Chain A
Amino acid sequence: MIDGGFWSMGGYARYVWPCIGFACVVLAWNLWSARRFYAAARVRAIRALAMKDSP
């Protein structure tokens, strides 16, 4: 099923594949940035709690 015709997308490969690629980048970026955002918030919360505990 996946032959040369599939990859060439009937001559529209230069439009179709960048769209799929960019969609993958956006999905990956969303996951990465959400994880990073949560991790940074967690670190800030731990620091805030440590400051609260310190005499």
Chain B
Amino acid sequence: MWTWFYRLASPPYVYRVTALLAPWFLGFAAMAIGYGLIDGLVFAPRDYQQGDAFRIIYVHAPSAWLSLFSYTSMAIAGAIGLIWRIKMGHAVAAASAPIGASFTLLALVTGSLWGKPMWGTYWAWDPRLTSELILLFLYIGVISLRPAFEDPGRGDRAAALLAIVGVVNVPIIHYSVLWWNSLHQGATVAKIGKPSMPGSMLWPLLSMLLGFMLFYGAVLCMRLRGEVLNRERQATWVREAIKS
């Protein structure tokens, strides 16, 4: 197990493996998202309270979930880079940040568009919405902090530190609907016991969640290859890697 872990610290290995994984992730992501969208938009029944507006869940919930997953991954990768001084940890964190930021923005925009017909407003300073907005600011902070230093190593460490400190916001976002009075509905899928959705609505949602996760994996692999090249461009292995 540790051999596999140590291999992930090797830039040539990461560069090679990500090239192999990206097309597979992308292919399966396209299938899962395609099925989830068609099933969710065409075949899933109308919600008895929200009507067809509930179909926004098929893009809103996966993007919100991915925004949290991506941030947690970024913080863990940053911590690995800080604690074990593994350069690939910082590379993964740097590759993850713009993807997570874009999905946080998507979650905020789709949530806002869903909020208008259901709550009568595009925006409210609700705990869930506000903490998700703070997550977007944290992403922007992490993205901006890295190039703000002349020494890339210091930039990596500062960005990793901010990502780790900011990870406290992740459980706040998740539990905000339980801790405070919130306009936002509670957990639908991740409920202990039984999800509060029938299978005909739930399966396309799970497919979209899987599709978004695989898409994140594909884009992370593609960005990570660029990060590896940027950090290793003086290394001799890069010459062979670029030729192939």
A11 → chain B, closest Cβ, in Å? 7
Report the bound CA distance from A35 to B218 in whole Å: 11
Q: How large is the interface on A (under 10, 10 to 19, 20 to 34, 35 or more residues)?
A: 20 to 34
Whole-angstrom distance between the alpha carbons of A18 and B112 in the complex? 11
Q: Is the interface of A mostly helix, strand, loop or mixed?
A: helix
* B79-87, B123-131, B187-195, B226-234 - interface stretch: B226-234
What is the predominant secondary structure among interface residues of chain B facing chain A? helix
Q: Is B102 a contact partner of A26 (Cβ separation < 8 A)?
A: yes
Asked if A22 and B239 sit within 8 Å, CB to CB, the answer is: no
In the complex, the answer to whether A9 meets B226 with C-beta atoms within 8 Å is no
Q: Which residues of A contact B227 (CB under 8 A)?
A: 41
Cβ-based interface call for B170 (8 A): no
Taking CB atoms, residues of chain B closer than 8 Å to A30 are 99, 102, 215, 219
Interface residues of A in 1-49 (CB under 8 A from B): 1-2, 6, 9-12, 15-16, 18-20, 22-23, 26-27, 29-31, 33-35, 37-38, 40-42, 44-46, 48-49
Contacts of A18 in B (CB 8 A): 113
Spell out A's residues near B (CB within 8 Å): 1-2, 6, 9-12, 15-16, 18-20, 22-23, 26-27, 29-31, 33-35, 37-38, 40-42, 44-46, 48-49, 52
- The reply to whether B225 and A38 form a contact with Cβ atoms under 8 Å apart is yes
Distance, CA A31 to CA B110, complexed state (A): 20
Query: Provided the pairs A12-B117, A45-B233 are in contact, do residues A29 and B102 lie with their beta carbons within 8 angstroms?
Result: yes
| A residues less than 8 Å from B98 (CB atoms) | 33
A30 to B43, alpha carbons, bound, how many Å? 28
Are B229 and A38 in contact, with the CB atoms below 8 A?
yes
Measured CB to CB, the closest approach of chain B to A27, in angstroms, equals: 7
Could you say which residues of chain B place their CB within 8 Å of the CB of A42?
A: 226, 229, 242
Partner of B229, one of A29, A31, A41: A41
Contacts of A27 in B (CB 8 A): 33, 215
Contact A1 B42 (CB under 8 A): yes
